[in-house]
Amino acid sequence: MSSLGEVGEFGLIAAIALATRVGAGVEIGIGDDAALVAVSSGKVLITTDMAVEGVHFRTDWSSAYEIGRKCAAANLADIAAMGGVTRALVVAFAAPPQLSTEWALQLTQGINDECAVEGASVVGGDTVRGEIITISITAIGEVSPAISAPVTRTGAQVGDIVYLLGQTGASAAGLEILSRGLGIAPGLIALHKVPKPPYESAREFAALGATSLCDVSDGLVADLGHIADASGVTIDIDVDALDISELFAAAHELEVDPFEWALGGGEDHAFTGTLPPQAVPPAGARAIGIVCPRGEGAVVSAGIALGHLGHDHFSA
Residues in contact with 160: Cβ distance below 8 Å, sequence separation at least 6, in sequence order: 211, 212, 274, 275, 276, 277, 290, 291
Dist. CA 209–CA 216, nearest whole Å: 19
pTM here? Answer: 0.91
Domains of the chain with CATH codes: 4-143 (3.30.1330.10), 161-305 (3.90.650.10)
Helix (H, G, I), strand (E, B) or coil at 32: strand
Residue 290: Cβ-neighbour burial (10 angstroms; 0-12, 13-18, 19+): middle
Distance of CA 168 to the CA centre of its chain: 12
Is 157 within 8 Å of 274 (Cβ atoms)? yes
- The CA-to-CA distance between both ends of the chain, in Å, stands at 41
Encode pLDDT of 227-275 as tens digits.
Answer: 999 999 999 999 999 999 999 999 999 999 999 999 999 999 999 999 9
What is the enclosing helix (H) or strand (E) of 292? strand 286-293
Counting Cα atoms < 13 Å in the Cβ hemisphere of 236 gives 14
Which amino acid, one-letter code, is at 47? T
Kindly give the confidence (pLDDT) of every residue in the chain, 316 residues in length, as a single tens digit, with 9 standing for 90 and above: 688 788 777 777 777 777 777 777 788 888 787 888 888 888 899 999 999 999 999 999 999 999 999 999 999 999 999 999 999 999 999 999 999 999 999 999 999 999 999 999 999 999 999 999 999 999 999 998 889 899 999 999 999 999 999 999 999 999 999 999 999 999 999 999 999 999 999 999 999 999 999 999 999 999 999 999 999 999 999 999 999 999 999 999 999 999 999 999 999 999 999 999 999 999 999 999 999 999 989 999 988 899 767 655 545 4
